[in-house]
Amino acid sequence: MTHGLNWIRALVVMIALVVACAPAMTRQAGAQEAGAQAVNPTAMSVQADDLLQQEGKLQGYLAQPDPKLAILEQPQGRLWRAFHESWLPWGSGILILAVVLLLGGVYLLKGPIQADEVSGIKILRFNVFERFTHWLTAISFIILALSGINYIFGKRYLLPLIGPEAFGTLSQWGKYAHNYLAWPFMLGVLFMIVVWVKDNVPQRGVDWAWLKAGGGMFNNTHPSAGRFNAGQKLIFWWVALAGIVMSVTGIMLLFPFAAFGVNGMQITQVVHSVVGFLFIAVIIFHIYIGTLGMEGAYDAMGNGEVDVAWARAHHDLWVEDQLRK
Amino acid sequence: MARLKFLCDANRCIDCNACVTACKNEHDVPWGINRRRVVTINDGKPGERSVSMACMHCTNAPCAAVCPVDCFHATDDGLVLHSKEICIGCGYCFYACPFGAPQFPQATNFGSRGKMDKCTYCAGGPDADLSEAEYVRYGSNRLAEGKLPLCAEMCSTKALLAGDGEIIAQIYKERVVTRGYGSGAWGWKTAYGETITVT
Ligand code: HEM
Ligand code: SF4
Ligand code: SF4
């Protein structure tokens, strides 16, 4: 009995199953038929050039574990090339030449700013650590700047002079210098921010007046200034900000693809080189003022001491402050 | 004078990576360096295509233009070769290359990435043809032996074509006409400033 019942139950289930599946099965067979007719490789075929135009670049799946190689084609490389081989050398070349010519002109026409004030009494302007910080940053900066310039102008001017082998060796050393001296430079910028930020906070009244008087450049007066005048403060803030930008982009270039893909690396490089050349232009100006452009200024960073009379003329508020202590 | 080029017929490439393996083996390419690779577009979707890509040996090559030490030279056959002796490993060629061809032995070591390595079209480098020095730096020089690149020779479906640009373009055109479709000459417009049109 039970056996017979089970048998009937199984039969019912089977019939139900067949009934339920039949429409699905016919549907599938139909789909296969239609599919066979619809296989039209031309319609399905991707068109390489269209795809590139739509997406701006081509990328896909790659068996090797290297995401940057999954990009099949990135024509953006051509734009970066245009920047690197034409806009950058022309722009930076004109900028640097213009700054040098301008300063040369000022020097020839106006000559250095005289330091007539001599009292014979010295006052300490920068202590040993401040001078160490300054020269650490300055020396590494100059080598970074020269090796950086070599990346762009070396092959244009130096290579024809010394030949490809010598230039290759020199550039290899330049690259090591750039890669390793970047660290003392970053340290220097950091120290500099720490030791000088308190003297560089803008003071609205004094700094505005100084800037309005053009620093006294044109009428040979000495507008009031604290430890740093408004011009020096501008240089300080520029070095701090540009120093940070150069450090961040530089580290990105040192550890390529750690944070960005190839297009990100291109942009990083553009920022690094553009800010780098602006930095060089500003520092050429700074070096001019500190050496040729103004008598008496160099001593402050040389042996750290300046004449009290000079200090009174250029940094009156600071001298008063020092004497009060 | 021949103008040597690569052409990958993406309607034939089956993503078997034989070209990649053949290249690595032929030139003793170090671990991690891919002179040739196969990229699959639209993976798993309708219209999926695989393309084998290496250095295309561009006309007016971007890598050569941006190299700060000018270590590239173009051969009479239009190949773009470079000197590992002069290269400083700055990586600029990788930023400029549209096809991701330049490779570096070290991903990072304070920016010392080692000498750039890329597809030589099996034509070695500036060292003396078939010398030991040339083999160590660039791999074998099949062109000097009168042969064409091994990747293309190894390709089982003959998707990857290597040879004189005009001849491989002609082969490709005939294929497209015969079978009635084609997805185009991948990378040609970017690399050579021209594409293959089948009318
Ligand atoms: C702050 C730390 C810095 C780091 C970590 C750094 C790092 C780098 C790196 C990695 C490169 C790419 C080339 C290579 O791999 O050797 C580079 C290029 C360059 N750097 Fe720096 N750098 C720094 C500071 C500077 C400074 C202060 C200047 C300018 C005064 C400068 C100017 C340049 C220039 C002009 C290039 C060449 C860019 C080009 O070819 O387009 N760098 N730097
Ligand atoms: S494919 Fe890349 S590496 Fe090869 S020639 Fe063109 S730009 Fe240079
Ligand atoms: S990595 Fe070598 S070949 Fe490439 S641009 Fe730099 S120096 Fe030239």
Q: Answer yes or no: is the C-beta of B27 below 6 A from any ligand 2 atom.
A: no
Tell me, yes or no, whether B199 lies in a domain.
no
Q: Which residues of A touch B183 (CB under 8 A)?
A: 45-48
CB B89 to CB A175 under 8 A?
yes
Whether residue A5 is predicted with pLDDT greater than 90 in this model: the reply is: no
Q: Whose CA is nearest to atom 5 of ligand 2?
A: B57
- Average pLDDT of A212-222? 81
Q: In angstroms, what is the span from residue B160 Cα to ligand 2's centroid?
A: 17
Contact A225, A315 (CB under 8 A): yes
Q: Which two tokens stand for residue A17?
A: 């199953």
Q: In angstroms, what is the span from residue A90 Cα to ligand 3's centroid?
A: 21
Q: Answer yes or no: is the C-beta of A178 below 6 A from any ligand 1 atom.
A: yes
Tell me, yes or no, whether B198 lies in a domain.
no
* A17 or A171, which is more confident: A171
| Total tally of structural domains belonging to chain B | 1
Tell me, yes or no, whether B70 lies in a domain.
yes
Q: Whose CA is nearest to atom 8 of ligand 3?
A: B67
Q: Answer yes or no: is the C-beta of B54 below 6 A from any ligand 2 atom.
A: no
**Domain range for B173:** 4-192
Whether residue A65 is predicted with pLDDT greater than 90 in this model: the reply is: no
**A88-110 and A262-288 are packed helices; what angle lies between their axes, rounded to 10 degrees?**
10
Listed residue (A253, A95, A238) closest to A175, CA to CA: A253
Taking the C-alpha atoms of residue B16 and residue A242, their distance in angstroms, rounded to an integer, is 50
CB A179 to CB B111 under 8 A?
yes
Q: What is the pLDDT of residue B71?
A: 95
Q: Residue A15, Cβ neighbours under 10 Å: how many?
A: 10
Q: Which residues of B touch A257 (CB under 8 A)?
A: 107
Candidate ranges A30-39, A117-126, B12-21; pick with highest mean pLDDT: B12-21
Q: What is the pLDDT of residue A42?
A: 53
Partners of residue B8 on adjacent β-strands: B160
Tell me, what DSSP letter sits at residue B51? E
Q: Answer yes or no: is the C-beta of B161 below 6 A from any ligand 2 atom.
A: no
Q: Whole-model pTM?
A: 0.86
Q: In angstroms, what is the span from residue A71 Cα to ligand 1's centroid?
A: 26
Taking the C-alpha atoms of residue A200 and residue A202, their distance in angstroms, rounded to an integer, is 6
pLDDT in tens, B153-181: 999 999 999 999 999 999 999 999 888 88
Taking the C-alpha atoms of residue B49 and residue B187, their distance in angstroms, rounded to an integer, is 14
Degrees, nearest 5: CA angle B126-B131-B134 = 45
Whether residue A11 is predicted with pLDDT greater than 60 in this model: the reply is: no
A150 touches chain B (CB under 8 A): yes
Q: What is the pLDDT of residue B181?
A: 85
Degrees, nearest 5: CA angle A171-A176-A178 = 90
Q: What is the pLDDT of residue A66?
A: 84
Tell me, yes or no, whether B197 lies in a domain.
no
Tell me, what DSSP letter sits at residue A258? S
Tell me, yes or no, whether B130 lies in a domain.
yes
The domain spanning residue B128 has which CATH number? 3.30.70.20
Q: Which two tokens stand for residue A45?
A: 């075929």
Radius of gyration of chain A (CA): 35
pLDDT in tens, B97-137: 999 999 998 766 555 788 999 999 999 999 999 999 999 99
Least confident of A33-42, B59-68, B183-192: A33-42
Tell me, yes or no, whether B122 lies in a domain.
yes
Taking the C-alpha atoms of residue A256 and residue A261, their distance in angstroms, rounded to an integer, is 9
Residues 6 or more apart in contact with residue A180 via CB below 8 angstroms = B110
Q: pLDDT band for A28, please (50, 70, 90 cuts).
A: very low
Q: What is the pLDDT of residue B59?
A: 95
- Average pLDDT of B19-36? 93
Whether residue A22 is predicted with pLDDT greater than 50 in this model: the reply is: no
Structural domains of chain A sorted by starting position, each given as residue range(s) with its CATH number in brackets = 88-324 (1.20.950.20)
Q: What is the pLDDT of residue A20?
A: 52
Q: Which of B87, B108, B138 to mutate to test the pocket of ligand 3 (most atoms within 8 A of CB)?
A: B87
Taking the C-alpha atoms of residue B129 and residue A94, their distance in angstroms, rounded to an integer, is 44
> Closest-lying ligand to the alpha carbon of B88?
3
Nearest CB partner across the interface for B41, out of A66, A72, A175: A72
Partners of residue B41 on adjacent β-strands: B49
- Average pLDDT of A133-161? 96
- Average pLDDT of A188-215? 92
* pLDDT > 70 in chain A, percent: 86
Q: What is the pLDDT of residue A147?
A: 97
Q: What is the pLDDT of residue A34?
A: 41
- The complex's ipTM? 0.87
Q: Which two tokens stand for residue B29?
A: 């390419």
Tell me, yes or no, whether B38 lies in a domain.
yes
Listed residue (B171, B133, B131) closest to B152, CA to CA: B171
